[in-house]
Amino acid sequence: MRSEQVRAQLDHPVIDVDGHLQEITPLLRDEVLDRARSLGGPRLAQRVADTPLTYDEGTARSRWFDLTEEERRDAWAVCPAWWAMPTDTRDRATAYLPSLLYERLDEMGIDFSVLYPSLGLSLVGIADDEVRQLACRVYNDTYAELYRPYADRLTPVAVLPTVTPAEAIDELEHAVGELGAKAVAIGHVRRAVPGAGVRLETYGIDSAYDYDPLWRRCVELGVAVGVHASEQAWGSRRSISSYTYNHIGCFSAAAESMCKSLFLGGVTARFPTLRFAFLEGGVGWARTLLADLVSHWEKRGAGAIGALDPARLDIEHLVALFGEYGPPALRDEQTVRAFFTRPDPRPAEADDFAAAAISSAADFGPRFVDPFFFGCEADDPINAWAFTGGPRLQAVLGSDIGHWDVPRLEGVLREAYELVEGGALSEADFRDFVFTHPVRLYGPGFFAGTACEVAVRKEVATG
C-alpha cells in the first residue's frame, strides 16, 4: 500500500514533527557575509570568511578524507558521515525546493511538516559569539522567507544559539515575534573546563547559567522547544574508521542527557506547561530512562535515602559479627571499628529528586510523561514501546525526510503504518502517534491557518 493510500483511509491528519530541509551552504555563506558587511564592515566580514559555518566547510570532519591512516590515528580524527544524501533525483531536489516538497506532500501522505535544518543545526556551535549569533539570525531570516508561501502545510524551525540565555532569548524574540516562527530548536553547548577538556551544557543540572528566563519566555510565547542534538564524535562514538559505529545511538544518547538534566534540574516542575520534543532518537531510550528514574527515586528519593545513611549502622553488632564469623585477619575489633566509623561524606542536599519535586510515583506523570515528546522515525519497530509496558509515552512521527536513512520520501507513512498492519499498534495508537500527540506538543494555536486547523479544532473540542 502506498503512503497516499494509507492517508486516504485515515480519518485524521498526519503531522510530521521532524522533516528536514537541505541547505545550499555556499548561498547561506554569501547571505551571512552580506549581512556581516552591512553590520560590521570588512572586519566582521573577514571573521565570517575565516569561520567554518557548518561541519562540511573546512572542519576536521570535512578534512578526514585528506588524511592518511596514520594521521587519522594520531589525531583520532572521527569518521564523518559520507554518502549521506538520497540519490533518487526527484527526492534529492525535493529536500532543497519548498515548492516541490509542497507539491509532493499528498503523495507522501503528510498533511503538515515541521522542517528542521540539516547543516544549519551546526551553526549554534560556532565559537565566535558575534559570528554565531549573526549566522543563526541570517539562517532564520532566510528560511522563514523561503517557506512563507507554503505556511499552510510547511514550517521551518528557527535555530537558537544558547551559549547564554540572553542570546537565546534575543533570537527567540526575533524568530517568533518578528518572523512568526512556530517552532524553535536547541542543541548542546560545548563548554571548556580548564584542565579537564570539554563538557556538555544540558540546561537543567550543573548549568553555567540560569536558563529559567528562556523557558519562561518560551511559555509566554507559546512555543515548544525542539531538542535536536547529536553525540557523534563525543564520548564512546569516536571511531576513526566507521561512520555507522559513530551514528548508531548518537541521537538517543544526546536526547537522554538533555531529558535527564531537564527533569532532575526541576525545569518541568517549575514550568509545567512547557513542552520539549527530543528528535531522531526514538522512544526506547525514554522508556528505559523513565524506569531507571522511578527505580532510583524509590531507593534514593527523600522517603528512602535515609535508609542508606551510614549513621544507621550498628557498629557494636558489626564488631560482634566480624569477631564471630570473620577470618583471623578480620577479627581485630579496633581495625573493624575504625573501618566502619571512618568519615563518610554528607551532601548538603541528600535528595537527588528535590528540584524535580517528586513526592510520589504519581508525580512522574506531570514531570516526565506530560511535558516530553519523542520523535520516532517511520521504520523503527521500537516505536510500539511508547504504547506498551508502562505509562503511554508521547511518541510523535518524525519523517527525517531529506536524509540518507529515508530511501524514498513516498514510503514514510507506509512504513510507519506497518506497525498497525502487524498488530503492534492499534488504529487509536497510530492516531495518537501522527496526530493527537503532535497537537498536544504544539498546542491548537500552532495550527491556525494551516491545512489541519479544522481537524485540530474538532480534536480539541472533543478532547
At 286, the amino acid letter reads A
User: Residues 37-83: pLDDT tens digits?
Assistant: 888 788 888 888 888 877 666 565 568 888 999 999 998 988 988 88
The answer to whether the beta carbons of residues 402 and 92 sit under 8 Å apart is: no
Q: Are 310 and 341 in contact (CB under 8 A)?
A: no
Whole-angstrom Cα distance, residue 216 to residue 202? 17
Question: What letter represents residue 17's amino acid?
Answer: V
Residue 75's CB is within 10 A of a number of other CB atoms, namely: 13
CA 299 to chain centre: 28
Q: Alpha-carbon distance 91 to 100, whole Å?
A: 9
Percent pLDDT > 90 in the chain is 77
CB 450 within 8 A of CB 26: no
Task: Identify the residue with better confidence: 266 or 57.
Answer: 266
- Cβ neighbours around 369 below 10 Å, total: 15
Q: Is 240 helix (H, G, I), strand (E, B) or coil?
A: coil
**pLDDT (tens digit, 9 = 90+) per residue, 25-35?**
888 888 888 88
Q: What is the rounded end-to-end Cα distance, in angstroms, of the chain? A: 31
CA dist 118 → 11, 51, 170, 360 (Å): 32, 18, 22, 41
Overall average pLDDT of the 88-107 stretch: 96
Task: Evaluate the CA torsion angle 80, 115, 456, 8 in order and state its sign.
Answer: negative
> Is the Cβ–Cβ distance between 106 and 412 less than 8 Å?
no
Provide the pLDDT confidence category of residue 163 given band limits of 50, 70 and 90: very high
Q: Which three cell numbers stand for residue 362?
A: 504519581
pLDDT tens digits for 409-450?
899 999 999 999 999 999 999 999 999 999 999 999 999 999
* Domains of the chain, each with CATH number or no CATH: 3-298+372-462 (3.20.20.140), 304-340 (no CATH)
Instruction: Using only the alpha carbons of the chain, give its radius of gyration.
Output: 25
For residues 155-190, b (16+ Cβ closer than 10 Å) or e, as one string?
Answer: bbbbbbbbbebebbbbbbebbbeebebbbbbbbbbe
Residue 114 has what pLDDT? 98
Across the range 254-272, mean pLDDT stands at 97
Whole-prediction pTM value?
0.95
Strands 197-201 and 189-193: antiparallel
SS3 of residue 372 by DSSP: strand
Query: Could you give the dihedral angle defined by the CA atoms of residues 37, 40, 46 and 51, in that order, rounded to the nearest 10 degrees?
Result: -100
> Who contacts 339 (Cβ-Cβ below 8 Å, separation ≥6)?
none
How many other CB atoms are there within 10 angstroms of residue 33's CB atom?
18
Question: CA-based diameter of the chain, in Å?
Answer: 85
What residue has cell string 548518537?
A: 250
pLDDT-based confidence at residue 196 (cuts at 50, 70, 90): confident
Task: Note the pLDDT of residue 94.
Answer: 96
Q: Is residue 414 within 8 Å of residue 377, measured between CB atoms?
A: no
